[in-house]
Amino acid sequence: MAEKVLIVYAHQSTGSFNAAAKDAAVTALTAQGCKVEVSDLYAMKFKASATADDITGEVKDAEHFRYGEETMLAWQEGRLSADITEEHRKLSDAEVVIFQFPMYWFTVPAIMKGWLDRVLTLGFAYTSEKRYSQGLFKDKKAMLSFTTGSQESMFSANGINGDINVTLWPLQNGILHYCGFQVLAPQIFWAPPHIPSEARRSMLEAWCTRLQGLMGETPLTFTPSDSFDGGLGFQLKEDIQEKQAASEFGLTVGTHLGKPLPPNSQVKAGV
């Protein structure tokens, strides 16, 4: 059966490299028989701010408004705003989600952060019991595809921007993996404004080649939820720590046990 793919796309210009990367993905995936939907956030004028306007009808506690709890109740009762409900439909249908964007200030643009804040509704996308490796989206795959303004060397362990693996940890672990997604290695287009047009074409060709085998890729590895003791503030279990004692590297970028970070764990599978 053909895969259903959702591309969440954030760029203001149809002439941008991000637009070209998005269009290449639509063409390549459609050619494979995939059903592709695109949420073009700027074209949609998608609202970035998470507010009480996302709920129709009365809120439960207007004086002490809590967005997560109020939107979960609204979701349960079918009272979320139409734009969120439509994105829920797309996300429910999708087996693979690709986020295509230019990196702004080491993260996603505000309009895409707004999509994450508003669409990944408590109850729909995660609960305190259903998260990380036990997450609600554990049967779905997701990946980041983005451009940078800096050269790759600047995002190295010795570079001025710091290790790209550290940069990606909050996005890939704290959002995608948190909701249970199987996270595919990111597609990083390094500094396209600062390279020759031939190099940009080569980047797009490499992306198209990757897309041909995307569905069979091995996801990145994250520490399973059952490696942590829920009764002790979700600390890594002692037996897991003991097993790691002789390891040269820590488990992950986030759970590194005071050891050197595992190399490229957020950009390559099977490291």
Count H helices, E strands: the chain?
Answer: 8, 8
pTM, two decimals, is: 0.96
- What is the pLDDT at residue 271? 55
- What is the pLDDT at residue 230? 81
Mean pLDDT for all residues in the chain: 95
* Backbone φ, ψ for residue 37 (5° rounding): -115, 145
Average pLDDT over residues 140-157: 97
Half-sphere exposure of 56 (CA within 13 A, CB side): 11
CATH of 4-220 among 3.90.1150.10, 2.40.128.90, 3.30.1650.10, 3.40.50.360: 3.40.50.360
CATH 3.40.50.360 positions along the chain are 4-220
Closest CA to 114 of 99, 95, 128: 99
